């Protein structure tokens, strides 16, 4: 059976870097999955900025269903290869909290909780916006709340402050998550910690 590990948390917390490092630790038969695995291959969205523009033009329900479609398709493609370990980068939690900050309308994400595969382990990488902004070389419109980049740093701090509040709500609803403060720890250290916890839990599960 494929073991599923979700790595989630705020933009700039180091999710993608940690997922890549974990993939090397969980070799040989491991897959990292994120929404772009399917959207990048779609003829409808030739670039990431194009999909961000399209998301901005959609109402909250349409936007969320499109995101969930991308996640579901990416997951199903990865699971069809029967990996030993599946590492989910961000997963639907990241988009649920972003939509809460954008519109306050998140009922549609009940679909994700009920229909998408549940991770065996979920790790929340904690980092506040004032820390994550210094890690970002590029700020996407999605990270700015689907707004124009007039004052990107100020917009990032303002919108991600709302997202961080939404994360607190999500964390309260998921007390079983493992939480790791990444503000003063390197990505390799975070990956090694997750690897050790995962191995221990999977061994005990048997």
- pLDDT, tens digit (0-9, with 9 covering 90-100), for 29-84: 999 999 888 877 776 666 777 777 888 888 999 999 989 999 999 999 999 999 99
Res 10 pLDDT > 90 = yes
Query: Between residues 148 and 45, which one has the greater pLDDT?
Result: 148
Average pLDDT in the chain? 91
Provide mean pLDDT across the span 147-153.
87
* pLDDT, average across residues 169-183: 95
159 C-beta neighbours (distance < 10 Å), count: 21
Residues 87/30, Cβ–Cβ less than 8 Å: yes
Residue 205: what pLDDT? 61
Whether pLDDT at 114 is above 60? yes
Q: Which of 199, 193, 203, 178 is CA-nearest to residue 26?
A: 199
Grade residue 204 by pLDDT with cuts at 50, 70 and 90: low
- Asked if 54 and 45 touch (Cβ cutoff 8 Å), the reply is yes
Report residue 90 as tokens: 């961000």
Helix axes 187-205, 15-25, angle to 10 degrees: 50
- pLDDT value at residue 2: 93
At residue 185, the 3 state secondary structure works out as coil
Return the pLDDT at 87. 97
Q: Report residue 193's pLDDT band, with 50, 70 and 90 as the boundaries.
A: very high
Fold category of 3-205 in CATH: Rossmann fold (3.40.50)
Position 20 scores a pLDDT of 96
């Amino acid at each position: 059976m494929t073991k599923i590990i979700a790595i989630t948390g705020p933009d700039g917390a180091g999710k993608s870097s940690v997922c890549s490092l974990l993939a090397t630790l969980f070799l040989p038969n491991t897959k990292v999955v994120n929404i772009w695995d399917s959207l990048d291959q779609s003829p409808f969205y030739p670039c990431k900025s194009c999909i961000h523009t399209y998301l901005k033009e959609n109402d909250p329900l349409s936007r969320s269903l499109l995101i969930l479609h991308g996640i579901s398709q990416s997951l199903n493609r990865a699971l069809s290869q029967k990996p030993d370990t599946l590492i989910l980068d961000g997963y639907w939690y990241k988009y649920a909290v972003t939509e809460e900050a954008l519109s306050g309308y998140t009922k549609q994400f009940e679909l994700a909780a009920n229909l998408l595969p549940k991770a065996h382990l979920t790790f929340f990488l904690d980092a506040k916006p004032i820390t994550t902004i210094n890690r970002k070389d590029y700020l996407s419109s999605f990270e700015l709340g689907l707004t124009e980049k007039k004052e990107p740093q100020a917009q990032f701090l303002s919108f991600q402050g709302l997202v961080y509040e939404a994360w607190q709500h999500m964390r309260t609803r998921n007390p079983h998550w493992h939480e790791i403060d990444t503000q003063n720890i390197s990505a390799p250290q975070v990956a090694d910690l997750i690897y050790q916890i995962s191995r221990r839990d999977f061994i005990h599960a048997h």
